[in-house]
Amino acid sequence: MAAIVRAHGVHKHFGALHVLRGVDLEVAERELVFVIGPSGSGKSTLLRCLNRLEEPSGGRIEVDGIDMLDRRTDINRARQRIGMVFQSFNLYPHMTALGNVALALRKVLKLPRAEADERARAALERVNLADRAGHYPGQLSGGQQQRVAIARAIALEPRVMLFDEPTSALDPELVGGVLQAMRELRESGMTMVVVSHEMGFARAAADRVVFMDHGLVVEEGPPEAVFGAPREERTRAFIRQIDRH
- In the complex, the residues that contact other proteins under the rule CB under 8 A are 51, 53, 76-80, 82-84, 86, 88, 90-94, 103-104, 107-108, 149, 152-153, 156
10 is an interface residue for ligand ATP by CB under 6 A: no
- Considering only the stretches 42-50, 113-121, 147-155, 185-193, report the one whose residues sit in contact with ligand ATP under the rule CB under 6 A: 42-50
Q: Where are the beta strands (DSSP E) in 52-187?
A: 58-63, 66-67, 82-85, 160-164
114 is an interface residue for ligand ATP by CB under 6 A: no
d(CA 151, CA 172): 21
Compute the least distance from the CB of residue 79 to other proteins, in Å. Answer: 4
* Of residues 19 and 91, the one with the C-beta less far from other proteins: 91
Contact 168, 197 (CB under 8 A): yes
d(CA 53, CA 76): 11
Residues that bind Mg ion (rule: CB under 5 A) add up to a total of 1
- CA-wise closest residue to 142 among 122, 119, 169, 116: 169
* Of residues 155 and 194, the one with the C-beta less far from Mg ion: 194
Identify the bridge partners of residue 217 per DSSP, sorted by sequence position.
212
Compute the least distance from the CB of residue 138 to other proteins, in Å. Answer: 9
Helix (H) or strand (E) holding 179: helix 172-187
Compute the least distance from the CB of residue 47 to other proteins, in Å. Answer: 10
- CA-wise closest residue to 153 among 105, 213, 210, 111: 105
56 is an interface residue for ligand ATP by CB under 6 A: no
Q: Which residues contact ligand ATP by CB under 6 A? A: 14, 17, 19, 37, 39-45
